[in-house]
Amino acid sequence: MIRRALFQKLARLPEWRTFQEDFAAATGLDLELVDDRGLGLEGRRRPRQSLCAAVGACVQGERFCERFRQSLLQRGLHGAAGGTCDAGLNEVAVPLRVGGTTVGFFLFGPFRSGPVSEQAWHRARHLLERAGIPVAAAALRSGLEAAREVSPRAAEAYIHFVEMAVHRMAEHLTAQLAPALDSLPAAVERACGLIRSEGLVRPLTLADTARRCGVSQGHLSRAFHHATGFTFREYLARTRAEQARELLRDPRRNITEAAFAAGFQSVSQFHRVFRKVYGMAPGEMRREWAMPRRA
């Protein structure tokens, strides 16, 4: 299953756009479709709520938001997951799966779960200051007050609302894509199989793969990008990064071991690719997994 191609198909479904508009009209909240990096169809992030924009205006704040988003999506791989960032705002991620593959996430928020009390405001201010994120007190208060208040019960109802739509769209997408998936070029299917079976244990080049698939290098390059949405090199790097991420879940395995076991030729290359795919360094992701989660 080619995840990126499925995501692109999903993002262009008229049913998705209609549901996005209906959800906003019914709840007053933004709903977006993102991939596992937290990016939309064009690789861009949505315009953010005023407080989010203020927090993300500096490098520390941008990384802070990226870590929170990645942590939320990681927890959302197995079902709807919500989280509260240190600024006091909530987001919820609901996964959409097709054929056992998580294609993307429906993400809604940000919102606050209660009134802006003095205690909540001081807590948010303290946590942001501790993280080295300069947000003026007045901007923090006004940003929190501008966020929509959603009770826990209402948030649960919104999750159910999204999950029902996800189920319908997954069925529609599966039916629509079945013929296309069955007719993937044989060379592309073969190349993807070689990447998954051999690209994790030894160097694999486009030229060698094309030869083994019985096509020219140029033909495979064009067909691969058209079918998957990735270049051969991008797909190979991403597959290795995904494998390394799974290996890193074992606390007994260090980062260097995970990098080489996933097929990377150097630790520096691994760090560069991993950060590009997941928006954070491998060590940062491990620390996120180890941190207790705020409900």
Domains recognised in the chain with CATH numbers: 3-180 (no CATH), 186-290 (1.10.10.60)
pLDDT of residue 156: 93
What is the Cα–Cα distance from 222 to 21, expressed in whole angstroms? 36
Triad 82, 74, 114: Cα angle to 5°: 15
pLDDT along the chain (295 residues), means of 10: 70 88 94 86 63 80 84 86 90 83 88 88 86 84 89 94 87 60 76 90 94 95 85 90 88 92 94 84 83 50
- The model's pTM is 0.62
pLDDT of residue 175: 64
pLDDT of residue 28: 93
- Taking a C-beta distance cutoff of 8 angstroms, is the pair 5, 11 a contact? no
What is the Cα–Cα distance from 261 to 190, expressed in whole angstroms? 22
pLDDT of residue 176: 56
- Taking a C-beta distance cutoff of 8 angstroms, is the pair 95, 76 a contact? yes
Distances (CA, A) of 12 to 29, 41, 145: 21, 9, 34
Paired tokens of 198: 């051999």
Non-local CB neighbours of 125 within 8 Å, separated by 6+ positions: 135, 137, 140
- Taking a C-beta distance cutoff of 8 angstroms, is the pair 158, 27 a contact? yes
